[in-house]
Amino acid sequence: MSREKARLYTRQNGKFLCGVCPHHCLLDEDQEGICGVRKVQDGELLLKNYGACVAEAVDPVEKKPLYHFYPGSDVLSLGTWGCNFKCPYCQNWPISQEERERQAQRRKPEEVLQVLKQAGSSCTGVAFTYNEPSIWFEFVYDTSRLVKRHGYKNVLVTNGFLSFDALSGLFPYIDALNVDVKAFSEEFYTRYCRGRLAPVMQTVEKSAGELHVEVTYLVIPEHNDSRGEIKGMVDWLSGISPDIPLHFSRYHPDYTFSQPPTPVPDLEEAREQALQKLNYVYLGNVPGHPGAHTYCPECRTLLIERGGFRAVIRGLEGGKCTYCGAELRIYT
């Protein structure tokens, strides 16, 4: 397979200092980054997975999850292999933690555009998802720039662990982010993710003023579910904006984690706690739960009803509640 030259790096004493994420891997000849897709060969830092799609599907945007970004529409979801985190409970571990070059279908940005056009009018754009999208930054940049020119939207579903150079480089072309906040403690990030919380917080803070942002928090019993930890996360988010949608997602055993799933009452308690400061708090991975619906924060009327990953708009028009007229930050 051909390799694409990496773009975000500096040279340091003959080595390559990768600039895509805060790991800042310093690589010599034949060395590979933590992400598993950037490698020095023949004196060049190369990207192994440019355009290498190992997961591709047209999904409801609610599946990302994005609840306030063109609800009821579809997005073309693309994912590659590799990740800059090593979460032992990862639900997409077969692609995030294993090399899948031989299973990949190589796509050019122009081909992605053609797939979008064939998908029909319900498909609003591309979601770079399934694994950490920043690790194939070059392909995300080229593709999002192209499809944006043709009137489509772009979405990143990310762990938020990317450098400001990478993030700001994508700002002109990305319309929405869902940031997966793994926990609200540095200890959790160090122990389980091989990462850090602070850069993730910075991604949310810097992105909130540039584009649409939603946050997902996978609630893992006895690991990141204490009232104090959730309070800290909610206080931080509400300080940025009480209108940022927060998704509490139900953990289930996967990869190397085998403990039982999150009890639904624990999720409901976390939601009630968060609603004291945030206007929109949702429950995920709990099919049929009313915690997936959107209500007007002013008059409490049902605005968007959700079943599975589908949404029906009941009381929203032009970004306003049709019952009380409140202006809401929901794109339709």
- Per-residue model confidence (pLDDT) at position 103: 85
- Strand order across the 4-5 sheet: 4-5, 44-47, 38-41
- Checking if the pLDDT of 2 tops 80, the result is no
CB 123 within 8 A of CB 116: yes
55-69 average pLDDT score: 97
Q: Which domains does the chain have, with CATH numbers?
A: 4-47 (no CATH), 52-292 (3.20.20.70), 298-332 (no CATH)
Cα distance between the two ends of the chain: 41
Average pLDDT of the segment spanning 267-278: 98
- Residue 1 confidence (pLDDT): 46
- Return the pLDDT at 34: 97
pTM: 0.97
Q: pLDDT at residue 233 above 70?
A: yes
Looking at residue 98, its pLDDT comes to 87
Which positions ≥6 away from 228 have C-beta within 8 Å?
Answer: none
- List beta partners, residue 219: 250
Percentage above 70 pLDDT, the chain: 99
Q: Tell me the mean pLDDT in the region 65-80.
A: 97
Q: What is the mean pLDDT of residues 48-60?
A: 96
Give residue 100's pLDDT.
81
Task: Inform me whether the pLDDT recorded for 132 exceeds 70.
Answer: yes
What tens digit of pLDDT does each residue of 100-122 get? Answer: 877 889 999 999 999 999 999 89
pLDDT tops 80 at residue 58? yes
Average pLDDT over residues 189-202: 97
